[in-house]
Structure 1
Amino acid sequence: MPPITPTVRNLLIVNVLLYFASGNLFPVDLFALHDPRSEYFRPHQFITHMFMHGDTMHLFSNMFSLFIFGPMLEHHWGGKRFLIFYFVTGLGASLLYMGIRYYEVSQVMDAATAFLQNPDPIDFKRLLEAANLNTQRYEQVLVDFYRNPENPQLIAETKEFVQLVSERVVNGSMLGASGAVFGILMAFGMLFPNTKLFLLFFPFPIKAKYFVFLYGAFELYAGVQRNPGDNVAHFAHIGGMIFAYILLKIWERQRNNFY
């Protein structure tokens, strides 16, 4: 691994400073990426969300990956091209995520509308599933609703709950540099496929190309599986890798040397 390079160093500094400033000097929601139907959405969020992080571990994992894999790419491309790559993959990740997110939010909004117009336990369960909530947590409510579908108090309580869930989902946000970081991982695996990596959670060395493939396969599986309570934007990670692959195919058309 070469010494830390200027662009990587500056990105690290900016991300860390903005993390500690967020919440104190400005609200995170102003810069995190929201659904276009949210009252909090602003166009600049497609870029600014890449410099926001949810907690210290989120920040550390992204910055650690940038620190480990970024310098070799900047050394290979130069600072200007590396920065272009960083922003293009980060933006590409957000575009793919937003496309899928738009569909998922629409499913929740449709289920909420159907329930509010005609409250019944079937539509209530559909709303829970569309919002990716653990239906087992609301099993007793569902049982009571099936037994007493005309209970006015139960209908009023579930209506209020559905409205809250719908608003929370529509106003949910994505933040973090993960899309760009996964783009960096993909580029590293393509440019230096046979470089052996020593990972803390892996008992033996693994070549970069296999590590990237396994990580990408896991993210795709997790994104499709959509386990209840999983708040990780897996398709943003996949988006970063896809756009990195496209850029590498354009930029490295003549490349025939691998390491």
Structure 2
Amino acid sequence: MFVPLHDENTLKSIRFQWITLALIVVNIVVYFFETVRLDEVAIASFAIIPKELFDTSLLPIPVDATGPAYPEQLTLLTYMFFHGDILHLAGNMLFLWVFGDNVEDAMGHFRFLIFYLACGVFAGLVHAWIDPSSDVPLIGASGAVAGVIAAYLMLHPRVRVWVLALKAIPLRISAAFALGVWILIQVVMVFLPQMGPVAWWAHIGGLIAGAVLVLFLRRPGVPLFDRGLGYGS
């Protein structure tokens, strides 16, 4: 597994990745809020719980002392801004920072925001569809970030990326190799006995959404697979 540090890929259409930065800031602020103000029960109210998501008898949530009623489907958006711990948050935000700017550059600010949220929603739906009777809460931006990874791979597979291999060895390798290994791990893991809290099917859902949506949301004239850009080794 590779930990991304930096990609050699300058912005071409935008001056700065404002949406990428804003998403990271929002995730950090929400994590700080959940750690100091919310307990596990309160956090679960913002999480996707497949059993509740598909049980219309639970909609809407009754008004009580914890807050206003809202439809359970809203958790398809809220879940992606909450994280289980600081490492969960840091890993997602690192991938988003390294790869999100160039996807935002290829789409423009507004379309990138729509893309990110749509990937997260589809990732949550795939996770829930796979095990609709589950009552285990799902939180985290991993599905949305997986969409960013898929889009980046389709846009810039030849770009060189600095990564840490085995969390210690710095390497300069192609994005195709670094992200391809990450994607392969996600695919393999869904066929292994499920262990631990990782929602592998949410990652797969995000990857599918990202690979499809980048075809339609990239700016006119933005090529796929670095065609005609002449990246060297």
Instruction: State the partner residue of 1:9.
Output: 21
Tell me, yes or no, if structure 1 residue 95 matches structure 2 residue 59. no
**2:201 maps to 1:235:** yes
Report the equivalent of 2:84. 54
| Aligned mates of 1:28, 1:179 — CA distance in 2 | 18
CA RMSD of aligned residues (A): 2.3
- The answer to whether the aligner puts 1:181 opposite 2:211 as a matched pair is no
Corresponding letter in the other structure for 1:7: I
Distance 1:61 1:13 in 2: 14
Q: List alignment gaps of at least 5 residues for structure 2.
A: 1-8, 62-70
Partner Cα separation in structure 2 for residue 77 and residue 251 of structure 1? 6
Give, in whole Å, the separation in 2 of the partners of 1:72 and 1:250. 16
- 1:36 deviates by 3.0
Aligned-residue sequence identity (percent) comes to: 29
Aligned mate of 1:78, from 108, 111, 117: 108
- 1:214 aligned counterpart, secondary structure: helix
Is contact 1:222-1:234 (8 Å) kept? Answer: yes
Partner of 1:114: none
When normalised by structure 1's length, the TM-score is 0.67
1:208 to 167, 175, 178: 175
**Distance apart, 1:4 and its partner CA:** 5.3
Shift of 1:197: 1.3
Cα displacement string for residues 133-153 of structure 1 (whole angstroms, at most 9, x for unaligned residues): xxxxxxxxxxxxxxxxxxxxx
User: What is the distance in 2 between the residues matched to 1:6 and 1:256?
Assistant: 22
TM norm structure 2: 0.74
Structure-2 separation of matches of 1:94 and 1:233: 9
Give the structure 2 partner of residue 147 of structure 1: none
Alpha-carbon distance between aligned partners in 2 of 1:5 and 1:180, rounded to the nearest angstrom: 17
Of residues 184, 189, 193, the one that matches 1:217 is 184
Please state how far the C-alpha of 1:255 moved relative to its aligned partner. Answer: 5.0
- Number of residues of Structure 1 aligned to a counterpart in Structure 2: 192
CA contact (8 A) 2:142 2:203 kept: yes
Which SS does the other structure have where 1:68 is aligned? helix
SS in 2 for 1:206: strand
Question: In 1, Cα distance between the equivalents of 2:189 and 2:129?
Answer: 17
Deviations 1:205-245 (A, max 9, x none): 32112222221111111111024x32200111111110111
Query: Displacement of 1:67 after TM fit?
Result: 1.0
- Opposite residue 28 of structure 1, the aligned amino acid is I
Structure 1 or 2: more strand by fraction: 2
Cα distance in 2 for residues equivalent to 1:66 and 1:251 = 18
Tell me if the contact between 1:8 and 1:66 (Cα under 8 Å) persists in the aligned partners: yes
1:199 is displaced (CA, Å) by 0.9
What per-residue deviation string (whole Å, max 9, x for no partner) do you get for residues 156-177 of structure 1?
Answer: xxxxxxxxxxxxxx43111000
Q: CA 1:61 to 1:256, structure 2 compared with 1: closer, same or farther past 3 Å?
A: closer
Partner of 1:31: 46
Q: Is the 8 A contact 2:49 2:138 kept in 1?
A: yes
> Is the 1:4–1:67 contact (alpha carbons within 8 Å) kept by the matching residues of 2?
no
Question: Are residues 256 and 82 of structure 1, via their aligned partners in 2, closer, same or farther at CA, if it must alter by over 3 Å?
Answer: closer
* Bigger Rg, structure 1 or 2: 1
Distance in structure 2 (CA, Å) of the matches to 1:75 and 1:254: 13
Q: Which has the higher helix share?
A: 1
Per-residue Cα deviation, 1:15-41 (whole angstroms, up to 9, x for no partner)? 101101115434211101112348799
User: How far 1:9 sits from its partner (Å)?
Assistant: 1.4
Q: Do the aligned residues in 2 keep the contact of 1:199 with 1:205 (CA within 8 Å)?
A: yes
Q: CA deviation at 1:54?
A: 0.2
